[in-house]
Amino acid sequence: MHKLFSTISIFLLALFTTTLNVEAQLQGNYPPLDTPPPPVASWTALVDQTKLPNAPIRPPGTPCPPTDEFCVWSCTTCTRPDIDFSFCPNKGDWALTYDDGPTNNTLKVLDALNARGLKATFFAIGSRVVESPQILKQVVDAGHQVGVHTWSHTALTSQTTEEVIAEIKWTEMAIKQAVGLTPKWFRAPQGDMDDRVRGILKQLGYRIAFWNHDTNDWMSNSDPTFDLNWIPANFTIWVQNTTATTGFASLEHDAFNKSSSMAESAMDIVLKANFKPQSVSVCTGDKPYVENVTLLPSNINGQNSTSTGTSTAEQNNVSTSTVTETSAKQSPKNNASSTEQNLFLGIVCGLAMLMTYLRFN
């Protein structure tokens, strides 16, 4: 009996451990994390470089030119309306956006959003997706939007065209493998954007997301003088703008513990002021992904415009099932984020270990 109990315990441990390991990894060989990834010839060939504006590469620390010939957002906040987004077009809408995840801190933001029936947009770093694909899948399954935020979080105007393409496509591939969806929205690290980078993104089928309200909450991760109360204080000031003829878009970060802890307060301030938080895709009416996916708007107080009297939880389930069903259709058969496949592989590996143990004991 003792031997049988030990055998079962070993089997269960093997099953649990193997399943977790499969769940936490993407398949294939990805570049080193947090460093500019290598260009891939087939991806580079997707962009006709002869059609790109001849904006110069700007190494870090390069001063801004006296005349902004190439619409450098990080110098002058210049935008191109045909591809750039900075705020929701409709008065009263508020795009909640979070950068630099997915991390364990994303879960705090996700819980706060889901508890309020709110939808948001998460711009993911490819290196973080490789580390935590299961967290990104939770974001998508809850009906939130996911966009690309580069692989290494490097200033794009400092990179060659081949390097910029690699930053985008490696991240796109990781997201597609993690959740089965291909994003159509992109955000540049530090908002570092010019017409050359815009031309690359446009040829790759992306729209670019900026913001018009910046919390600067990322400073809380490295600056001990940063006061977290500045975050809700800024939101309190921003919501008092009742004369604006358009909506807004705020920038926060889900990568850091301190800043993520303030996301909940910010949401409540926006809600109390009767704004309607949404994902970027919903507030613009543009597609979130290449695949045929429709994201639902926020379900504030159970009053979702698509609601037929169902509860908040039920509406969220509808949103989840809509995205999950499409994800399943679009996911490759070897998608490592599939719970069913992970469980199957865990059982197979566990049985193999069990048979080996019984053979030699």
Cα(100)–Cα(138) distance, rounded to whole angstroms?
A: 16
φ, ψ at 186 (rounded to 5°): -140, 145
Q: Among candidates 185, 175, 184, 183, which has minimal Cα distance to 336?
A: 175
**Catalytic (active site) residue 149:** no
Cα(16)–Cα(353) distance, rounded to whole angstroms?
A: 12
Cα(275)–Cα(44) distance, rounded to whole angstroms?
A: 42
Query: Do residues 103 and 255 touch, judged by C-beta distance below 8 A?
Result: yes
Give the SS3 label for residue 125.
Answer: coil
Query: Do residues 185 and 70 touch, judged by C-beta distance below 8 A?
Result: no
245: DSSP letter = S
Instruction: Tell me the C-alpha to C-alpha distance, in Å, between residue 277 and each of 184, 244, 246, 262, 325.
Output: 20, 16, 13, 16, 25
Q: Among candidates 85, 150, 112, which has minimal Cα distance to 283?
A: 85
Amino acid making up residue 28: G
Instruction: Tell me the C-alpha to C-alpha distance, in Å, between residue 55 and each of 46, 73, 123, 256.
Output: 19, 13, 25, 34
**Catalytic (active site) residue 253:** yes
Q: Where are the alpha helices (DSSP H) in the chain?
A: 2-23, 41-44, 73-76, 104-116, 126-131, 133-141, 161-179, 195-203, 230-238, 257-260, 263-272, 280-284, 312-330, 339-359
Cα(168)–Cα(148) distance, rounded to whole angstroms?
A: 7
Among candidate residues 144, 149, 213, 253, the one labeled active-site is 253
Amino acid making up residue 58: R
94: DSSP letter = E
Q: Which two tokens stand for residue 70?
A: 């190439």
Among candidate residues 93, 99, 100, 195, the one labeled active-site is 99
φ, ψ at 331 (rounded to 5°): -70, 140
Residues belonging to the active site = 99, 253
